[in-house]
A and B are shown apart, each in its own frame.
Chain A
Amino acid sequence: MEFNSNKSIYLQICDAICEQILSGRLRPDERIPSVREYGAEIGVNPNTIMRSYEKLTADGIIYNKRGIGYFISPDAKETVLAAQRKEFMEEELPQILRRMKLLDIDPSVLAG
């Protein structure tokens, strides 16, 4: 995996998993690789993967079956969608609007 953005690695891993949930590549109740398997696959310290999995668990996107592994939550897609919509409206859109203002682009062009 290539890590480029300025976000910390554990959050980038969260994003990658969320993206796969949105695209349908990861299905509800599907098992995801163990912390060590995933670490080996992408060449990242298992502790970093653990941190990603802990965050995704806390956010209700994956769940842990003790001794078996981590699975995608049944309603993961809705959870990710809701969170990313909120992030878009609250953070990304204001940035786009600021940039449009700077470049003197009339927001009405978006209404198309």
Chain B
Amino acid sequence: MITIKDLGFTYGETGGLRSISLNKEKGHMVPTEKFVLKNITMNLEEGRIYGLLGENGVGKTTLLTLLCGLKKPQMGTISADGRNPYDREPSLLSEQYYLSDEVPPMNMKAVDYAKNYGKFWEGFDMDKFIEVMGVFENDPQQKMTHMSFGQLKKTYISFALACNPKYLFMDEPTNGLDIPSKAQFRKAMTKYTREDSVILISTHQVRDLENIIDPIIILDRQDVLLNATLEEISEKLYFDYSSEKIEDALYSEMIPGGNIQVSLNQNGEDSKVNIEALFNTVHQHKELIKGIFNK
């Protein structure tokens, strides 16, 4: 389990970026701290594939890089089963993988890259790399510099899964993937990951990852708005797809053939969670949502 407690982070030279803003009471300019992340507290459990959602600039990538030890928390702590990622102990590094949004084309064949770099991961499995490459219809003998963006991405996804990491962090993994690869990706995320792994995927492409991400984390400026399983979400919110208007709907959106309407689930009825509608509901009713989910 990864335990995040009161995590805070700001970009700046002295660890605290100070921007100047006008203090209305005092009538002059004063510096204010600008935090990207502030007071983030949550647990990431084993055996789950978390979907990390949030608008542009809310700190999704910052959070991922903090979790894998590329950045140092300026406030609060992160503990990966008792270990601090920023210590970058080889034992922890060999159990985690961070797949960034942009991946570098190396001047070598994919299979050679895997051979050379796989050594750093305790659980690396070359056969698995070849197998996943096959699933994605990627040629392991191809030079990475000759690959398209999508092919390169699939090479790195294959590599990430072949490393058998306990902690897997992925930043927009489906960006650049073609249509068949997206379904393959969803299947691979179940088939080729460890049962006890902690997986966190940040994405804007919720449709690409629908049915695979659960729980859902919605990040807002400095804050976690929601961290709940689909089961908990459908217990508390009701997603209606009919054409009848619901009076006290929290959110409603026209779709071909009717509406998606989200309301409080008062009758204990079960419904299918629509992640986009959920996201918009949460954004329009931040305090209400925090209230009903943090009970």
The residues of A with any CB-CB pair to B shorter than 8 Å are: 3, 5-9, 11, 36, 39-48, 51
Contacts and interface: CB of A to CB of B under 8 A. Distances in A.
B214 A45 contact: yes
B71 to A, nearest CB: 29
14 contacts: A6-B239, A6-B241, A6-B272, A8-B230, A8-B272, A9-B272, A11-B270, A36-B191, A40-B188, A42-B187, A45-B211, A45-B213, A45-B214, A46-B47
A43 B186 contact: yes
The dominant DSSP class at the A interface is helix
A8 B270 contact: yes
B276 interface: no
Contacts of A42: 187
Interface string B229-253: 1110010000111000000000000
Contacts of B213: 45
A3 B273 CA distance: 12
A43 B230 CA distance: 16
B225 interface: no
Contacts of B188: 40
B211 A48 contact: yes
Given A39-B190, A44-B190, A48-B230, A7 B270 contact: yes
B195 interface: yes
B5 interface: no
Given A43-B211, A45-B211, A47-B229, A36 B195 contact: yes
Contacts of A48: 211, 214, 230
B49, B187, B272 interface centre (most CB from chain A within 10 Å): B272
B187 A41 contact: yes
B49 A45 contact: yes
B272 A40 contact: no
B177 interface: no
B212 A44 contact: yes
A56 to B, nearest CB: 15
A3 B275 CA distance: 14
Contact of A3 (B211, B229, B231, B240): B211
Nearest to A44: B211
Interface string B173-210: 00000000001001110110001000000000000000
B48 interface: yes
B271 interface: yes
A27 B23 CA distance: 74
Contacts of B190: 36, 39-40, 43-46
A3 B48 CA distance: 21
A7 B273 CA distance: 9
Nearest to A49: B190
Interface in B267-288: 270-273
A45 B231 contact: no
A6, A7, A9, A51 interface centre (most CB from chain B within 10 Å): A6
